[in-house]
Structure 1
Amino acid sequence: MNPKIDQYDQKILQLLQEDARMSHAELGRQVHLSQPAVSERIKRLEASNIIRGYRADINPKALGYEITAMIRVSTQQGRPYAQYVASCPEIIDCYTVTGEDGAVMRVLASDVEHLQRIINELNAFGSTSTAIVLTTHVSGKAIAVPSLNENKD
């Protein structure tokens, strides 16, 4: 764990993951620090790339995306899919993985025909295997900030 993180930073990270729009003044009240002290800590956490950004949690169904699917692509060396997936707005996550598959992607589609078009385009990079998500049990879970007491002997 980063030795520069103390219990105040831990609490700030936890609170920001719960509500990234929380004001620095409110954060200060909850962690018992002044607003300027909280602001400085957040700047340091951002500068050290612990806090990478702030995002809105968007409901895909409200935008017409009725299907979420996981697509695995078995790629061959030299087939550059990275540029395609970066430019395809429906592919919202893409991971290079170990094992038989070269990549696993989370994809949004408005309907089955839309999903089929995406799959057809991905087939240019290797064979695909698709699973449609029926239920999401965990999504956007906060990252646990390790306790200061962990990893100490």
Structure 2
Amino acid sequence: MDQIDKQILFHLQGQARISMTELGKSVNLSQPAVTERVKRMEEKGIIEEYRTIVSAEKTGKHASAYILFRTRDCDAFLDFVRSSPHVIECHRISGEHNYLLKVLTESTRNLEEFGNHLDKFGTYTILIVMSSPIEHKPLITLDEE
């Protein structure tokens, strides 16, 4: 991956729907050349997918939390979190807890109810998000070497 590929990734992170013509102008390449580079990065798995970031609050999800979870029955726990519409991330972690969940619910009352459902799978600590000063930070920056 060269500096031009990094520039392409930088621009795609900020606006994944940018046209290949506009992207080419941003990195001083022709549309066919930039299209070929993007296609190559997709094939290599450097670009995994394109996403839309949806506003949680504007879709009625006003409570955001992280949950540190400890369980001995990982299979049942994972079946539950995979089927839950509230869990948007689940990570296996090391240390005192097995899992870290990111959860979005309509309210803190709904968050409490979700916690009540978790009781049968193990123990947990809920960390309610008060604010998010850095919500989405780009992975690729142009000042990297």
> Which residue number corresponds to residue 20 of structure 2?
24
TM-score (norm 1): 0.87
% identical equivalent positions = 35
CA RMSD of aligned residues (A): 1.7
**Which whole-Å CA distance do the structure 1 matches of 2:41 and 2:35 have between them?**
10
> Which residue number corresponds to residue 113 of structure 2?
117
**Which whole-Å CA distance do the structure 1 matches of 2:34 and 2:120 have between them?**
49
Q: What residue ranges of structure 2 are gaps of 5+ in the alignment?
A: none
Deviation at 1:123, TM superposition (A): 2.1
**Residue 79 (structure 1) aligned with residue 68 (structure 2):** no
Compare the two structures and name the one with the higher helix fraction: 2
**Which whole-Å CA distance do the structure 1 matches of 2:47 and 2:124 have between them?**
34
**Residue 52 (structure 1) aligned with residue 33 (structure 2):** no
Deviation at 1:146, TM superposition (A): 8.6
**Residue 34 (structure 1) aligned with residue 30 (structure 2):** yes
Work out the number of aligned pairs and report it: 144
**Which whole-Å CA distance do the structure 1 matches of 2:140 and 2:29 have between them?**
22
**Which whole-Å CA distance do the structure 1 matches of 2:100 and 2:56 have between them?**
19
Bigger shift: 14-23 or 139-148? 139-148
Query: Which of 38, 58, 63 is the aligned partner of 1:62?
Result: 58
Q: What residue ranges of structure 1 are gaps of 5+ in the alignment?
A: none
